[in-house]
Structure 1
Amino acid sequence: MSYPEDEDDAALFRSAIGEVTPMRPVETPVTGKPRPKPRARMAEQDESQALGEFARLLRSSGPLDAGDVASYRRENLPARMFQRLKRGQYSVQDELDLHGATAAQAEMMLREFLLEAHAHEHGCVRIIHGKGLQSDGGAPVLKNLVDRMLRQRNDVLAFHSAPLTQGGTGAVLVLLANR
């Protein structure tokens, strides 16, 4: 079917569809109050649970002292592997020394170190935090920081203060999960 070129498209459309009945306008109820903005409730819930878990960890165990052993094991890690870690029987594939770092610097260094350890697929690393004998206020800052941070990470299967020959209570051996 061919149409003359000068005919209007709108006129062609109306002739093609035929007669129509206009719709009535839809009235929206006016309540006076704007609708509330959407909230990410699940994200808020996850955040509050994570903060609650961190607060529980802080309450359940007081800060570590200079001579205290730092120790942690995930439930799914076999006890035999944890015993080998405690004895220092794993080959340490990399090491981070935090001596002289501030808490903020140590936190950043530790995060970067663990990312790099995973990139190189290291299974066991040593973190030297010192015993904290120079800390003001008594509690070793870096030792407690390392303890708290490692407990929060999903990629850490276990950690334990190193044997005396590898740094004693001034260092931890960390067993990392495979990717």
Structure 2
Amino acid sequence: MASKVIHALYTDDDVLMDAVKQVRGEHYHIEEIYTPFPVHGLDKAMGLAPTRLAITSFMYGCVGLTVAITMMNFIMIEDWPQNIGGKPSFSYIENMPAFVPIMFELTVFFAAHLMVITFYMRSKLWPFKEAENPDVRTTDDHFLMEIDASHKDVDEMTSFLSNTGAVEIKVIDKQEDNH
């Protein structure tokens, strides 16, 4: 199923920010914004919810810490206790200071690696995925705002967007990806 979107190109990030505020003020739905560099405050201007990736990172770190404690207790205390330098390994608590670096490293390892996987899954960045950049100028010096126009008056939206400072406006029939 195809839907209509409007691509409005801007040449300045400050003009883009003002345009985003005006478009949101008119209650038009912004699908996506493509920029050549991160624009500070754009997520807030678009009304995007704060990310919850930090919460998942903490949970992944807790999983790593749990794996480290369980692994060290089993390997060094239960399965194969060793007398190293006259210090017997009869309990986990007695040897915990020696285990702190391992606990730290596995916490960081799990948090970092699982966060990368989570980020790629959340962003739908699969291996060999085709780029979804609608205009190659957005990788150099232009900013593109993609606005849903399937249930709106396209001529009215086009004239409104030209008043916001857009240097180029295109109406596109976009194919929806149902994968």
Higher relative contact order (CA 8 A, sep 6+): 2
Give the TM-score normalised by the residue count of structure 2.
Answer: 0.22
Give the TM-score normalised by the residue count of structure 1.
Answer: 0.22
- Greater helix share, 1 or 2? 2
Instruction: Specify the structure having the higher radius of gyration (Cα).
Output: 1
